[in-house]
Structure 1
Amino acid sequence: MAAKSKSKSTPVETALVLPRHADIKETEVSSVELVDTHTHVASTFEAYRAKYPEGAHTTIKSFVKALLMSDETNKLSAVVDVWCEAPLKAEWLETVDSLGELKEEGLSYSFVVGAHPHEAKEYTDELEETFKKAHAHPLCVGWGEIGLDYHYDNSPREIQQAVLRRQLRTALASGLGKAITIHTREADDDIYTILTEELPKEQRIHVHCFTDSLEVAVKLLDHFPNLYIGITGVITYSSNLNTSQVVRHLGEKATPSSPSALRLVLETDAPYMLPSTMGPPSSFGMTSKQKLPFAHSAVLPWTAAFVAKVLNEREMPEGEAPWTTEDVLRVARENARKVYGV
């Protein structure tokens, strides 16, 4: 029996298993692979346990299998988990090894590790050694999320800059050739300067949850041919116009039959960034006053559908079909392979 929720505003636990998105409902599941390139699995599980203290799932592995691997939902093929706390959570190794076992059941789990800019003031030699060991783990596909956040300034800006440079140099010095996951917010000039000074042009980069200016996006895309823009559910928010502007720019030279210019990947940043376009609560077994208490990787198709809508604002070349949700999911899936090898 599903556990009851803590309050009337929290839906029953079964509502967390999302129905397959309408745009991919009639398609064979195997033809559309969903890849979440940026999610915080441990934090999402913590959010679940906080909302459902008597919930059915007492382990992260059970939680992931139920929400992301069910045949009834938007089944995930791969996730890139993010460990960016300082200090690194004690359970990281046990968790990644446990979730890595899910590959035998159809879910490819990998992770990135690094110090978030909010945590820059906590960066130490000891922490760096821990990150270096984690970075060498066979399931680790990158260093991140690292970068600059001038919106909150939880760490002084000069410390953020110094720690970003240090982490970039450490990642390159490892010789492992893994990707870099970048967090940037309201730091356009400094992020461009630091990345172009510290990284080789061919470096594989994922600029996560992009919400900054089109100008800096174009500069980064032009300088780094293997840089991809991360799109989360925040693209659906009326308060954020920048992300759609970047998608329009990427779509100017891309079509469903020739999509290589569409240099984006899809991500959830779960448990954050729930898309605002999920539809009426009743379609998820909720009352009109309820909403999903957190995002998880199975919300990806709603973000993809919005991206397709934005791409279709331009007049398509003669003979070219409009973008579909499935088209966007396929392009994003291939780009995830290019960035992270997943």
Structure 2
Amino acid sequence: MGKKSKVVPESHFRLVHPAISESSSRIVDTHTHLASTFEAYRHKYPAGDYTTVFDFVRGLYVPAGVQQIVDVWCEAPVRPLWREFADSALTEDDRQKLWGGVGYWFVMGVHPHEARLYTDAVEADIIEAMAHPRCVGWGEMGLDYHYDNSPRPVQQEVFARQLRCAVRLNKPLTIHTREADEDTERILKEIVPKEHRIHIHCFTDSPTFAQRLLDWFPNLYIGITGVITYTTNQDTSTTVRNMFSSPASSLPPDASTTADASTTLSRAVADLSLSATSEDKKLRILLETDAPYMVPAPIYALPGLAGKKLPLCHSGMVPWTAGFVAALLPQTQSAEGADGAKDGGGEAEAKDMDTEGEGKKEGGWDAARVMRVARENARAVYGV
């Protein structure tokens, strides 16, 4: 007889990172698929504690310190459920009552996997969604030559078409690109103004490609998910390290000079502000989960999780990715810890996550600082 599959108890999803409990840092997840995450949870835990998406957010996200999420709708045809989520976050009373105070925002587009299903009707539905007060961007869209679920010429045509719509509406761009460096770069440079706000989501391609994009588009940021913590992926870590060896010309402009009026107002009334140093500005990243996928590897150093596999990720796991990023940056930890980070090993970084907040070097990096910088970057790109 085969082994019985045991689902990890859902109590392991109730997480609070030391960077949250010991500081004023809060989580901004700039790319999550909330409907899919909740559906994955209900599939794995049909008798679980949370029966609605609002219960799920209040039960797991609020205690973990999640402040804002950018939800991604990228199916064709467009799922009508988006409006239920977005309308439920229109008023402050509803955000407090239903969402537990978590700020709900969304972007919408068509993923390259589904480019073959893109139609005039789908485009009209997306354009309608762009007018919703909780909509902050167009995406995810782009090119995926790893799976080729849609023919490449179709992917390119639909990508270009969506970019033109988003640029016309002055919406920030959420870009998916995988093993399509040359075509992604060419199409972006052909269509998108240099000053446009761009989020290259879940970046895993070549560091040189990332640097070319960063150099060309001053308001472009690289999305970092839990995949950066995997030993099979060295390119994303190298991309982040390279930000600190690149010339000053690749630093982004001050966000106050590029934000629109609503973003400026958001920054003015925000309870969390950051006087960015030049070192802070070098870190041109956005933190994201791409939930329900890609649980950060350091999570498995937590008690009771060794040798287990969580069936889904959620926005409360962002700090473990932030801690891993901090371990890559200058003056973060001892030489021994830094060597572990360079080797890409999970154990060294996982240990660092356990002790995060216990005393970083003056002027160094920890999860809290990475989250503060990424939080400011999220304001610059999405105005959230």
**TM-score, normalisation: structure 2:** 0.79
Q: Counterpart of 2:300? A: 279
Quote how far apart the aligned CAs of 1:278 are.
1.1
Work out whether residues 114 and 167 of structure 1, in 8 Å CA contact, stay in contact via their aligned partners in 2: yes
Residues 47, 99 of structure 1: CA spacing in aligned structure 2 closer, same or farther, 3 A cutoff?
Answer: farther
| Match 2:228 to one of 220, 227, 235 | 235
SS in 1 for 2:211: helix
* Equivalent in the alignment of 2:338: none
Q: Which residue of 2 aligns with 1:78?
A: 68
Structure 1 residue 257 displacement after superposition: 4.3
Aligned twin of 1:3: none
**3-state SS of 2:328 partner:** helix
Matched, 1:17 2:10: no
1:209-288 paired onto structure 2 within 5 Å: 209-252=202-245, 257-258=277-278, 259-281=280-302, 283=303, 286=304, 288=306
* Closer/same/farther in 2, CA of residues 311 and 88 from structure 1, 3 Å limit: same
SS at match of 1:277: helix
Name the amino acid aligned to 2:244. G
The structure-2 alpha-carbon separation of the partners of 1:314 and 1:218, relative to structure 1 and needing over 3 Å to count, comes to: farther
| Equivalent residue for 1:156, pick from 141, 146, 151 | 151
Q: What letter corresponds to residue 120 of structure 1 in structure 2?
A: A
Residue 309 of structure 1 corresponds to 327
Q: Distance in 2 between matches of 1:324 and 1:225?
A: 25
SS at match of 1:138: coil
Out of 181, 203, 206, the position equivalent to 2:174 is: 181
Relative distance call for 1:172 and 1:293 in structure 2 (3 A) is same
Residue correspondences, number: 322
Q: CA separation of 1:320/1:89 partners in 2, compared to 1, >3 Å: closer, same or farther?
A: same
**SS where residue 328 of structure 1 aligns?**
helix
- Alignment partner, residue 323 of structure 1: 365
Structure 1: where are the runs of 5+ without partners? 1-6
CA shift for structure 1 position 11: 2.0
Indicate the SS of the match to 1:269: coil
* Partner Cα distance (1:242, 1:288) in 2: 26
Q: How does 1:108-147 map to 2 (within 5 A)?
A: 108-147=103-142
**CA contact 1:9–1:290 (8 Å) conserved in 2:** no
1:288/1:328 Cα in 2 relative to 1: closer, same or farther (>3 Å)? closer
- C-alpha offsets along residues 32-56 of structure 1, whole Å, 9 cap, x if unaligned? 1210000000000000010011222
- Go from structure 1 to structure 2 and tell me whether the alpha carbon gap of 1:127 and 1:334 turns closer, same or farther (over 3 Å shift): same
Greater helix share, structure number: 2
Q: 2:86 aligns with which of 96, 107, 110?
A: 96
For structure 2, the 5+ residue unaligned runs are 252-275, 335-360
Contact 1:61–1:98 (CA under 8 A) maintained in structure 2 = no
Q: Deviations over 1:90-129 (max 9, x none)?
A: 2111122224532574211100000000000000011111
Give, in angstroms, the shift of residue 212 of structure 1.
0.5
Distance in structure 2 (CA, Å) of the matches to 1:266 and 1:78: 12
In the TM superposition, residue 8 of structure 1 has moved relative to its aligned partner by 5.7
Secondary structure of 2:370's partner?
helix
Give how far 1:59 is off.
Answer: 1.3
8 Å Cα contact 2:241/2:328 also seen in 1? yes
Question: Structure 1's 126 and 9: CA in aligned 2 closer, same or farther, altered over 3 A?
Answer: same
> Residue 201 of structure 2 aligns with which residue?
208
